[in-house]
């Protein structure tokens, strides 16, 4: 089951859907799909903050995402959650005392 990363903007409670990376050498901000792993030099943004993104004056914004929308749980996520709940509900056999 994938973990939900939060938006990097201060006090934003929403889940991240895109990753923002700055290419300083080209004065470019690149907004792309949510990265598999959180990187220290990139920012995860929710739908609202990704859509409102502006770059500093003189910089270009490259958007690699045509449509932004919050990801719904996939079939695999739901199966993993059901398995976890089932496992937690099973009674465990008592440990033999030494």
Does residue 77 lie within any of the structural domains? yes
pTM to 2 decimal places: 0.65
Cα–Cα dist 19/35, whole Å: 6
Q: What is the pLDDT of residues 25-50, one digit of tens each?
A: 999 999 999 998 888 899 999 999 99
Q: Which domain range does residue 43 map to?
A: 18-89
What is the predicted pLDDT for the residue at 52?
Answer: 93
Answer whether residue 66 shows pLDDT above 90: no
- Write the pLDDT tens digit of every residue in 2-26: 558 899 999 999 999 999 999 999 9
Place of tokens 């920012």: 43
Closest among 1, 15, 13, 24 to 71, alpha carbons compared: 15
- For residues 11, 13, 19, 22, the Cα torsion angle rounded to the nearest 10 degrees is -10
Distance of CA 34 to the CA centre of its chain: 5
- How many structural domains comprise the chain? 1
Task: Quickly state the pLDDT bin for 92 (edges 50, 70, 90).
Answer: low
């Amino acid at each position: 089951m994938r973990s939900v990363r939060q938006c990097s903007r201060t006090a934003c409670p929403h889940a991240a859907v895109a990753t923002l990376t700055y290419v300083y050498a080209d004065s470019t901000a690149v907004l792309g799909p949510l990265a598999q792993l959180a990187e220290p030099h990139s920012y995860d943004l929710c739908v609202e903050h990704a859509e409102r993104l502006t770059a500093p004056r003189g910089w270009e914004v490259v958007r690699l995402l045509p449509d932004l929308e919050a990801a719904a749980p996939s079939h695999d996520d739901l199966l993993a959650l059901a398995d976890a709940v089932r496992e937690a509900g099973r009674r465990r056999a008592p440990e033999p005392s030494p």
